[in-house]
Every structure is written in C-alpha cells, then in structure tokens.
Amino acid sequence: MDWKDKKVLVTGGAGFIGSHLVKKLLDMGCDVSVADNFSRGRRENIEPFLDKIRLYQVDLTDLENCMLVTKDIDYVFHLAASVGGIHYIKRENVEGSTPSILMNTNMLEASVKNSVECFLFTSSACVYREKSLELNEFKEEDAFPANPPTTYGWAKILGEIQCRSYHLDYGLKTSSVRIFNCYGENENLDPKWSHVIPSLIRKAILYPEEGFKLFGDGKQERAFLYVEDCIEGLLLAMEKITDGDVINLGSEEVISIGKLAEKIVKLSGKDINIEYDLSGPQGTHRYCANTEKMKKVLGWSPETPLDVGLRRTYEWARRELNVEG
C-alpha cells in the first residue's frame, strides 16, 4: 500500500506507541493529525515533528471533539485509552473502563459520520484470562466466552465488538489488534504508570539510590514486542484486515521476569541485589501470543531480538533520566 499523502489520525499520538507510529507515518509521506489530551502522552515525544503534524489537544470522551478530529480523515489509528501499569488496571475499575468505552464509541460514531475509510482499534492481551499454570499461548478465540480479569480488559473486549458491529451495520472498514507486552523508547518511566521493562530499567539506572525489587517470584513468563516491530504490525493490520476481525500482535521469544531482570542488571554493569516482593500484584503468571493467525494474515513476524530492543531502551532511558553511563 502506498501511504503517501494519505490523511491519517492517530489518537493517543503523543503516547509511547502513538509517537512511534506518528514518526513512521510522517516518514512514509502521510498527512498526519494527532489527538491527545496529554493525560499520559508527553509533548516531548512529538516535539521533533510538531511543525509537521496537526495537533488537537482534546478530550475524546466528547463526541463533538471526535467529529472535529476525524473530519477529512482517511485512516484512524485509535490508540487512546485509559491505561497504566498493573497497579493501575487492578486498582482503577471505573477509570480503567468508562473513559475508554466512551472514546471508543464516539470515535467509531464520528468515523462513520465523517466517512473515514478505515479504523484500527488497539486492543490488548488483557482481554485474556489465565487458563493453566503452564505457559498460556493465547489464540484469538481464547478470549471468548469473555472473562477478562480487569475492567480495562472488558473495555478492550467491548471495543473489539463495537468495531465488528460498526463494520457489519455501517460498512466501516475496521480491525482490532491485541498488542502483547510492547516495550521500547518513549515509554513512561514514572513508577505510577510504567510497565515491567521500563520499571526495571529505571530501577537499574537509579540503583542503589532506588532498590531493585520485582513483584512476585520472578517465574512469571512473558514474550515482549519491541515498539518498532509493533508499528510494522499495526500498519500491516490496517492494510490487510478490513472486516472487523481481531488479531494478536506479539513475539514468540518467551522469557521469565527473573531472567529479564538479570539481562537488565547485566546492561547496567552494576552489582545489583535483586529483591522479590511476593505481596504485590503479579498479573497473569505465564502467557504469550499464539502468532499463527498473525503470520498467516499479515505475512509477517517481529524481527527485533529482545537483547537488541532492551539495549536500545536502556540507553534511551539513561539519557532520559540524565544519568551518565
């Protein structure tokens, strides 16, 4: 697909994944608009290309704002959501669902009314619930019957159903992508919001001023997706899925959180004592994406090895925290 001169909107475009997507779209010659309320997104993430984009600082829980930002748009990447790390999504039941449900509904409604051509919704691995103490390799169909462990997961499931419904009832070309454990540069390093990789990297960089503690016993297993690979997957999904279908987007490189911590400690070059907090939230114990459908439909697999992505992310975080290497 030739993206040159396509009019593209990225909601949540000042956020972690969104800012990388905006940069890639600009590199491909797109006319890019960004909608973000900066509740979690950072202006610094899009500072290098502010003069090349159309920026809307708006609240997308308001339908009028959604009508404004989708006017004359061809493609919508809807990334905006009420989200945080595991502490946030397990604690904030209303905030973890209501704003997202309102944004999803309004953005789909506005996209139909403004004749948007294609709409991609970013869902999450949080739609799945652990079924086994062994490694849970979730297939797309494993999300049903739906029973997510958090209201954030329920908001994502509902968003997927809405995308399918707007395609069936109004002909809007839609797709939903369940992203598994994306990481990389521009991710939030604030302990209040951060996911496991930026959290551990931050602790390693600031050690010993800040302790290096893991939630759980370190045996939890995940497969992490580097952000540049994630962007490639999103672009392909927008091109190849138009019937409201859902697809996983993830890596097959499974690792325990304990081994992940050891890799980050090695990157730091420090003699770090790893502590384990068995009282904190641990999330689903062992899981990754089944990528069969992803590879078949998109004809693609992630290319960035974990060691490479971790090194890039660590060096970025060190600069961000202004700590000498």
Tell me what the pLDDT averaged over the chain comes to.
93
What is the C-alpha to C-alpha distance for residues 60 and 103, in angstroms, rounded to an integer? 5
The yes or no reply on domain 184-222+253-289+304-319 and CATH 3.90.25.10 is yes
Residue 281 is predicted with a pLDDT of 59
How far is residue 20 from each of residues 219, 233, 240, measured CA to CA in Å?
Answer: 31, 13, 20
pLDDT at 86 over 60: no
User: Is residue 67 predicted with pLDDT exceeding 70?
Assistant: yes
Task: Encode pLDDT of 131-147 as tens digits.
Answer: 888 899 999 999 999 99
CATH topology of domain 7-182+224-249: Rossmann fold (3.40.50)
pLDDT in tens, 172-223: 999 999 999 999 999 999 887 788 999 999 999 999 999 999 988 999 999 9
Which token pair is 272? Answer: 């770090």
Rounded to whole angstroms, the Cα distance separating 14 from 11 reads 8
pLDDT band at 148 (very low <50, low <70, confident <90, very high): very high
Inform me whether the pLDDT recorded for 84 exceeds 60.
Answer: no
Q: How far apart are the first and last CA of the chain?
A: 42
Q: What are the structural domain ranges in the chain?
A: 7-182+224-249, 184-222+253-289+304-319
Residue 91 binned pLDDT confidence (cut-offs 50, 70, 90): low
Q: pLDDT by residue (tens digit) across 216-237? A: 899 999 999 999 999 999 999 9
pLDDT digits (tens, 9 = 90+) for 239-274: 999 999 999 999 999 999 999 999 999 999 999 999
Contact partners, residue 206, CB within 8 Å, separation at least 6: 321, 323
Tell whether pTM > 0.75.
Answer: yes
pLDDT attached to residue 283:
56
Residue 152: name the closest of 223, 230, 78, 99 by CA. Answer: 99
62 neighbors 106 (Cβ within 8 angstroms): yes
Confidence class for position 315, pLDDT limits 50, 70, 90: very high
Asked whether this chain's domains 7-182+224-249 and 184-222+253-289+304-319 adopt the same fold, the reply is no
Q: What is the mean pLDDT of residues 274-299?
A: 87
- Tell me the backbone φ, ψ of residue 35, rounded to 5 degrees: -120, 125
Cβ proximity of 62 and 89 under 8 Å: no
pLDDT at 93 over 80: no
